[in-house]
Amino acid sequence: MKIDFTFRQMNSSEKLKAHTSDKLTRLARFEDREMSVHVTFGKEKHNNFVEFQVNGNNGTFVSSETRDDMFEAIDLAIDKVDRQLARDKDKRKHHKGLQAATPR
C-alpha cells in the first residue's frame, strides 16, 4: 500500500504517520492489487481534520472527519473508508453459485 501524507497548517509528526499507517493496514484485505492512499492532516480554527482518499482498482473512496483529538478523527475516518470498501466489495461479489459477476 502506497501512502502519501500532506500536512496543512500544522507540522509533520512521525507519531501521526505511524498511527495512520498502522490503522490503514486493515484496508488491504479489500483489494488484490496495491492501493494508494492520500492522507491530509490539518487544523481549522480549534479543530483537527483528517481526509483519506483511497484509490484502488474499483474506484476512489473519500472520507473525512473533524474532531478535537486528531487520533480520534483518524480512527473514525478509517472506519468510514472501511465501511465504504466493504460495501463496494459486497456489491461486486456474486452470490449465485459459480457464475461470474456481471460488470457494471
Task: Look at residue 82 in the predicted model and tell me its pLDDT.
Answer: 93
Task: Look at residue 67 in the predicted model and tell me its pLDDT.
Answer: 94
CATH architecture of 2-87: 2-Layer Sandwich (3.30)
Task: Look at residue 104 in the predicted model and tell me its pLDDT.
Answer: 57
Task: Look at residue 90 in the predicted model and tell me its pLDDT.
Answer: 84
Task: Look at residue 49 in the predicted model and tell me its pLDDT.
Answer: 95
Task: Look at residue 93 in the predicted model and tell me its pLDDT.
Answer: 77
Low-confidence ranges of the chain (pLDDT < 50): none
Task: Look at residue 89 in the predicted model and tell me its pLDDT.
Answer: 85
For the chain, what are the domain ranges?
A: 2-87
Contacts within 8 Å (CB) and 24+ apart, 50-54: 50/20, 50/74, 50/77, 51/77, 52/77, 52/78, 52/81, 54/27, 54/81, 54/85
